[in-house]
């Protein structure tokens, strides 16, 4: 694996883990059971308009808006067509997210077990379409934008962009993302990430990254980071 900075890979792996787990939970949810299916529907869409919410659909929408503000704006001056392409995909993702949220609301209003099963089946199809679309979008972002970023930006410039991206997140939201992201990375990816974080000229959130590594990683990977990178002061 390249040692160059890749702004998309870590958080995208976290999102993939989120979607894989959510898909597993979705297909085992009994929509005839009011309490069980309501918990799942609320987990999907609660506070959809709040970027501070930890609901799954909220996180997906917030991620897109943060990318557009902190990363796409920097890349646009180098390749407008590439940004237009991924922005079009963002619009489609947003449309599908709102569709799934609408069906969640429909589930929450139903009392009849038979109708809840019927609408739950529709929610499953819509959510699976969203997941498939989103997974394809993540691949496209990496395939299209990473080569442009490696050509046009130095690693130090990419680290600065990453600092802006994560420093804009409230601490509580940063922690939510890291609980998905860090455990999703293999040892080499963690070494690339933390080496770059420690080398950053603006390691504002270094202590938070280290704390989340201690809270989320298994002992083997944590020891590897401590031995290869050092998790003391940046």
In a domain, 64, yes or no: yes
Q: Are 17 and 184 in contact (CB under 8 A)?
A: yes
Q: Are 55 and 46 in contact (CB under 8 A)?
A: yes
The pLDDT tens digits for 23-55 are 998 999 999 999 999 988 888 776 444 444 456
The pLDDT tens digits for 219-230 are 999 999 999 998
In a domain, 166, yes or no: yes
**Gap between the Cα atoms of 119 and 113, Å rounded:** 10
- Work out how many domains the chain is built from and give that number: 1
- The region of weakest confidence among 5-9, 63-67, 200-204 is 200-204
- The region of weakest confidence among 44-58, 128-142, 200-214 is 44-58
Average pLDDT score over residue span 82-105? 92
Enclosing domain of residue 212: 9-228
In a domain, 133, yes or no: yes
pTM: 0.89
In a domain, 221, yes or no: yes
- The region of weakest confidence among 77-91, 187-201, 215-229 is 187-201
In a domain, 4, yes or no: no
In a domain, 39, yes or no: yes
Q: Which of 65-69, 115-119, 171-175 shows the highest mean pLDDT?
A: 115-119
Q: Are 42 and 188 in contact (CB under 8 A)?
A: no
In a domain, 2, yes or no: no
In a domain, 112, yes or no: yes
Which residues 6+ apart lie within 8 Å of 154 measured at CB? none
């Amino acid at each position: 694996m390249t040692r160059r900075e890749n702004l998309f890979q870590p958080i995208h792996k976290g999102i993939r883990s989120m979607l894989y787990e959510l898909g597993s939970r979705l297909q085992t949810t009994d929509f005839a059971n009011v309490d069980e299916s309501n918990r799942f529907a609320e987990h999907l869409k609660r506070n959809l308009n709040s970027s501070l919410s930890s609901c799954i659909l909220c996180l997906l929408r917030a991620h897109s808006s943060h990318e557009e503000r902190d990363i796409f704006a920097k890349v646009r001056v180098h390749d407008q067509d590439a940004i237009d392409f991924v922005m079009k995909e963002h619009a489609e993702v947003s449309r599908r997210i709102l569709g799934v949220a609408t069906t969640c609301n429909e589930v929450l209003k139903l009392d009849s077990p038979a109708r809840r099963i019927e609408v739950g089946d529709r929610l499953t199809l819509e959510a699976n379409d969203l997941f498939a679309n989103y997974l394809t979008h993540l691949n496209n972002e990496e395939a299209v934008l990473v080569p442009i970023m490696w050509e046009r930006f130095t690693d130090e410039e990419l680290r600065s962009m990453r600092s802006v991206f994560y420093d804009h997140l409230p601490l509580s939201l940063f922690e939510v993302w890291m609980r998905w992201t860090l455990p999703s990375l293999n040892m080499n990816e963690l070494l690339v990430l933390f080496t770059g974080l420690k080398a950053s000229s603006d390691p504002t959130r270094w202590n938070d990254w280290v704390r989340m590594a201690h809270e989320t990683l298994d002992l083997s990977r944590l020891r590897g980071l401590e031995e290869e990178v050092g998790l003391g002061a940046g």
